[in-house]
Amino acid sequence: MNSKVLLVGFPNSGKSSLFNILSGQRRKVTNYSGITVDAAQGDLLSNDQYDNKVKIVDLPGMYNLVPTSIDEGVSLNSLLNLTSDVSYNLVALVVDIERFESSMSLCLALKDLIGDKLVLIINKDDKKVITNEQRKLIEKETGLKALTTSSKKSNVREIDRFIRDSIKEEVALTGKVTLSKECLEYIPDYKDIPQVIVEEDQKIVLDQVNQYHKRAREIVEKIVRPDSKRVEVTRKLDKLLVHPLWGSIIFVIIFYLIFNSIYEWAGPLMDSVDSLVGLLGDWASSVLPDGYLKSLVVDGVIAGVGGVIIFAPQIGILFFLLSLLEQSGYISRAAVLSDRVMSIFGLNGKAFLPYLSGFACSIPGIMAARTIPSKKERVATIMTIPMITCSARLPVYILLIGTFVPKEKVFGFLNSQALSFFFLYFLGSFFALFMALIFRLTYFKGETSSFFIDLPLYQRPRLRIALGTALQKVKFFCKKAGTIILVLSIGIWFASTFPRLNPSEVLNKDPEVVASLQLQNSFMGRIGKTIEPVLKPIGMDWKMGVGLLVAFGARELFVSTMGTIYALGEVDEESSTLRERLKLEKDEVTGEPKFNLAVAWSILIFFVFSLQCTSTLAILRRELGNWKQPIFAFTYMGVLAWVGSFIAYNLLS
Amino acid sequence: MQVRMSTLKIGEKAIIDSFPENSQEGLRLLSLGILPGDEVEVTSKALFLGPLSLKHCKNTFFAIRRSHANKILVRLIN
């Protein structure tokens, strides 16, 4: 026997974690006529113990049965059974206690449509508590079976049994749903069926949803009492934290402190990870025999992957602090405070957090953009986040600004080097928002941006939860970025190692010079030579070109590559010898210094705009579901980078 | 007196009379649990015509853009 169970609920109600523990995380993305929606289908882990083989489907989040987005349309599509010939046997509604009234409203509407083949799973965790008496009241008021649970592993069997025991024969749609004409375009496989009434007057549609809410409110009032103390605390805190003036000042202070702590705390951690990588490299060098294998492992894999892994502490700290803020309820207030500025650029206050995360690394920023409800706003946000100055650009900025921008006082009190840093950060952020605006006016036009947000009651954040989030993100970062970087590092190693020079060519020469000649002869060096014509107008030569190319693996590789090219072996950004070497490098024809202020700024500006990060491209592909948009993002940022460098170089030389 | 929600001052309380004509905005409000007939109190108005923050009924809070609030008619209570 086979059965199918649909999981429905609000966005972020814990549906997906429930799905994951029940099915063992075997997600399969479903496609609906060209649109990829994150609807997953899987088998219950317990299927091998029972005759009844149960499939569960994790439908996209929905607020009510009247769709206002593709996600909601896809869910309704499945509930109305418009596509598949196999019907389903049960709907499990995940009830969100924080949005209890609206969840109950959806419950009542669902019950009218599919009858009693509906069960409630009330998700609770440390902060959402519901007693057994309350659960019984819910069952009595709705006439449906309800289970209180948390998405922890220990509860799998209980939830599994609850679902299995509730499965009966296939659902027959008993009720009707009233939709307006506008809703139909969101339903992928809409066809005329007797269960759907299409109403011209939007008011009637609204009124129906309103009725469900009213009934839901009556039920909720019988079950929970408002926590008047927390309400009062929230009211008082909000008077200050969203105050037009003080709120904005506190906002700036909070986020300044977060950035400050990322740099302050991550420093020592990054150093220790770095020295661990170093130790590993030393150990590998001592164990492996000299030769290609050793070079591949030490210079390719360990140096390449290690260079990226050192950013894991920053990711961890950022997400730890953001989790504290998120749990407290402040993030929604930050979205309110920044919405006005964001709306100028055709975006939403909810884009604030993703952009902010982008200062540490684009990857978590792009993932954080999932909370933006409008698809077009989300894509416009995702496509511009990589221009926000991430921490991987820092080594390059430190090297070039430290070497070529003279330390002077500007207006008598501002440090010219600090000012240059600020300018680069500003340039990236401004253009990210500016390009988002252009996208919103052209390619991702329409869909008047909207902003509705509920402000949860404030609560004390829990360190344990924050630590858990941080660890999870670090693990994800190491795994995803690690695999891509690993492959890439190996690729770069091959391209800069082969083909080899003839032994006769390197006879009696200094090993450092040999390294440089070898690089010139390698694929990478040849490619550098090939792209030199493109780089000439922006003041760069083939060596810098190789640096730029290698930096596509990860931007910080630029610094170590410059070191290799200038025959110095491993050099980090604080190495004064690389700095001196850069200053001494002479043009072969004119004898003028190769690097000057104009060239340095040309490289800097290039790094501000260019999407030189394979991991980001991979995440863009995953989040956008196609290659077209990532390739477009790569191209437009590349064009901006080149034009920007061209302007900077010609202005300064 | 019927006024637009966006014209309420900080600290003023009002009853929601009618929703925007557009069903999208109406549905968004409903999905936040905000219904016609509900009491709201403005807790803050962000700088430069930014969003309106409100306390809603006894125990919930929400914020919406002023352009949305402009389309919601409310009745002041003193």
Residue A32 has pLDDT above 70, yes or no: no
Task: Return the pLDDT at A635.
Answer: 92
For residue A602, the model assigns a pLDDT of 92
Look up the ipTM and state it.
0.88
* Residue contact B31–A453, C-beta within 8 A: no
What is the average per-residue pLDDT within A383-400?
A: 83
- pLDDT at residue A528 tops 70: yes
Chain B: closest CA distance from residue A544 (Å): 46
Quick check: B59 and A453 CB within 8 A?
no
When pLDDT is averaged across residues A110-129 and rounded to a whole number, the result is 79
Q: What is the 3-state secondary structure (H, E, C) of A112-180?
A: HHHCCCEEEEEECCCCCCCCHHHHHHHHHHHCCCEEEECCCHHHHHHHHHHHHHHCCCCCCCCCCEEEE
What pLDDT shows up at residue A641?
Answer: 93
Specify the pLDDT at position A609.
93
pLDDT at residue A252 tops 70 = yes
Q: How far apart are CA A490 and CA B34, in angstroms?
A: 56
Residue B68 has what DSSP assignment?
H
> What is the least distance, in Å, from the CA of B25 to any CA of chain A?
8
**Are A244 and B46 an interchain contact pair (Cβ–Cβ within 8 Å)?**
yes
Q: Is the pLDDT of residue A41 over 70?
A: yes
CB atoms within 10 A of CB A503: 7
CB A238 within 8 Å of CB B61: yes
Q: Strands (DSSP E) along A21-145, which ranges? A: 29-32, 35-43, 53-58, 90-96, 118-123
Residues 6+ apart with CB under 8 A from A430: none
What single-letter DSSP state applies at residue A302?
A: I
* Range with top average pLDDT, A186-195, A483-492, A505-514: A186-195
Q: What is the pLDDT of residue A219?
A: 87
- Going by pLDDT thresholds of 50, 70 and 90, the confidence category of residue A434 is very high
A451-480 confidence digits (pLDDT tens): 888 888 888 888 887 888 788 778 876 775
**For residue A286, with 0-12 CB atoms within 10 Å meaning exposed, 13-18 middle and 19 or more buried, which class applies?**
exposed
Q: Is the pLDDT of residue A437 over 80?
A: yes
**pLDDT given at position A560:** 66
Q: Taking residues A253-278, what's their average pLDDT?
A: 75
SS3 B41: strand
3-state SS, residue A9 = strand
CA distances from A220 to A104, A145, A224, A297, A507 (A): 8, 16, 6, 62, 86
pLDDT reading at A604 higher than 70: yes
The whole-angstrom separation of Cα B35 and Cα B30 is: 6
Q: Binning pLDDT at 50, 70 and 90, where does residue A153 land? A: low
Q: Say yes or no to pLDDT of A72 above 70.
A: yes
Determine the Cα–Cα distance for residues A477 and A554; give it in Å rounded to an integer.
14
With CB atoms and an 8 Å threshold, state whether B46 touches A337.
yes
pLDDT top residue among A93 and B47: A93
pTM more than 0.95: no
Q: Which residues of B touch A340 (CB under 8 A)?
A: 46-51
Collect all residues of chain A within an 8 Å Cβ-Cβ radius of residue B20: none
Written as one string, the DSSP assignment of A439-463 is HHHTTT--S----EEEEPPP----H
Q: Are strands A118-123 and A146-149 parallel, antiparallel or unpaired?
A: parallel
List the structure tokens of A589: 């024809």
Closest by Cα among A65, A11, A114 to A212: A65
The DSSP-derived string for A411-433 is TTTEEHHHHHHHHHHHHHHHHHH
Confidence of residue A384 (pLDDT cuts 50, 70, 90): very high
B21 contacts chain A (CB < 8 A): yes
pLDDT at A608: 93
Confidence of residue A36 (pLDDT cuts 50, 70, 90): very low
| A-B contacts at Cβ under 8 angstroms | 133
Closest Cα of chain A to B71: distance in Å? 13
Q: Kindly state whether B5 is in contact with chain A, defined as any CB-CB distance less than 8 angstroms.
A: no
CB of B46 within 8 Å of a chain A CB? The answer is: yes
> How far apart are alpha carbons A183 and A190 in whole angstroms?
10
pLDDT of residue A569: 42
Q: Which of A495, A489, A471, A548 is nearest to A317 (CA)?
A: A471
Q: Report whether A311 contacts A297 (CB < 8 A).
A: no
Per residue, what are the HEC states of A247-283? Answer: HHHHHHHHHHHHHHHHHHHHHHHHHHHHHHHHHHHHH
> Average pLDDT of chain A?
79
Q: Which residues of A touch B48 (CB under 8 A)?
A: 340
A367-378: burial string, b at 16+ Cβ within 10 Å, e else: bbbebbbbebbb
Instruction: For strands A90-96 and A2-9, give the pairing.
Output: parallel
Q: What is the mean pLDDT of residues A308-336?
A: 79
> 3-state class of A42 per DSSP?
strand
Can you give the length of chain A in residues? Answer: 653
Contacts of A324 (CB under 8 A, 6+ apart): A461, A463, A466
Share of chain A above pLDDT 90, in %: 8
Amino acid making up residue A600: A
Q: Residue B10: what pLDDT?
A: 85
At A31 the pLDDT is 39
At A74-110, the pLDDT tens digits run 888 888 888 766 688 899 998 887 778 888 899 999 8
Position A128 pLDDT exceeds 60: no
Which residue of chain A comes nearest to B49, CA vs CA? A340
Query: How far apart are alpha carbons A309 and A489 in whole angstroms?
Result: 13
> What pLDDT was estimated at residue A151?
59
Give the pLDDT confidence score for residue A154 in this predicted structure. 61
Beta pairing class for A29-32 and A35-43: antiparallel
Q: Averaged over A354-367, what is the pLDDT?
A: 80
Helix (H, G, I), strand (E, B) or coil at A198: strand
> Which residues from B are below 8 Å from A228, CB to CB?
58-59
Residue A508 has pLDDT above 80, yes or no: no
More confident residue, A599 or A96: A599
**Inter-chain CB proximity A340 and B22 less than 8 Å:** no
Residue A518 has pLDDT above 70, yes or no: yes
Min Cα–Cα distance to chain A from B15, Å: 16
* Residue A567 predicted with pLDDT over 50: no
Residues B65, B71: Cα–Cα separation, whole Å: 11
Residue A644 is predicted with a pLDDT of 93
Which DSSP symbol is given to A296?
Answer: I
* Chain A nearest C-alpha distance from B1 (Å): 23
Query: What is the per-residue pLDDT for A648?
Result: 92
Most confident of A263-277, A313-327, A418-432: A418-432
For B17-41, the pLDDT digits (tens) are: 887 776 677 877 887 788 888 888 8
Q: How confident is the model at residue A34 (pLDDT cuts 50, 70, 90)?
A: very low
